[in-house]
Amino acid sequence: MSKVDRRITKSQEAIKKALTELMSEKNFDDITIQDIADRADVNRGTIYLHYTDKYDLLDKLIEEHINKLRELCQAANDMSFQEGNYVWYEYFEKNYLFFSTMLASKGAPYFRSRFLDLVVEEFKEELTGMEGKNSGLNKEVILQFFGAATVGAVEWWFKNGMPLPARVMAEQTGVLLDRNLE
């Protein structure tokens, strides 16, 4: 495994942070590579060395966070919804600027769609062999319902400036999921 030069990592992190900050300030379509370079304090060439264009940069940034959420889900497989949710809300809190920009603004509808897909994908495992209250209901309807509810709760949390601590959001959404997915 080759070691990545710290300067490369530092530049990429600065570029991703610059894009996120700029998206919190203005519409993505209005952001230029020069704006990103100026904010990140790098040359335009440095950006093009790592990314094809601003769309590639945004796609890679989104995929990075989606993959991290997927990893957190896999690590939380043996946990209750409340405990697993806390892992996510803790990650959301640590990456506030990114998630609030992606969910609380119209900056990246693609992110919301990818996030919903991930949530639905993760709930699929929970629904296998499920009986009880939701027995007889169409599994796709159940998945879309709980996926949209989960994404909506996270959006609400960011749009309102995280009015409840991550632990409380995790507990309350976890209770709702536990109660309804039995």
pTM reported for the whole predicted model: 0.85
Please report the DSSP string for 85-116 in residue order. Answer: HHHHHHHHHHTHHHHHHHHHSSS-HHHHHHHH
For residue 108, the model assigns a pLDDT of 65
For residue 62, the model assigns a pLDDT of 94
**One pLDDT digit (tens) per residue for the chain, 182 residues:** 556 688 888 999 999 999 999 999 998 889 999 999 999 999 999 999 999 999 999 999 999 999 999 999 888 777 776 777 889 999 999 999 999 989 876 556 788 899 999 999 988 877 665 566 777 888 899 899 999 999 999 999 998 999 999 999 999 998 888 787 66
For residue 106, the model assigns a pLDDT of 59
For residue 125, the model assigns a pLDDT of 74
For residue 99, the model assigns a pLDDT of 92
Sign (positive/negative) of CA torsion 91, 158, 119, 106? negative
For residue 163, the model assigns a pLDDT of 96
CA 91 → CA 11, 29, 60, 68, distances in Å? Answer: 22, 28, 18, 9
Helix spans in 41-182 (H): 44-50, 54-75, 81-94, 96-104, 109-127, 139-159, 166-180
Domains along the sequence of the chain with CATH: 1-51 (1.10.10.60), 62-180 (1.10.357.10)
For residue 83, the model assigns a pLDDT of 76
| 141, two tokens | 């309807």
CA distance 157 to 170: 11
Element (H, E) at 34: helix 33-40
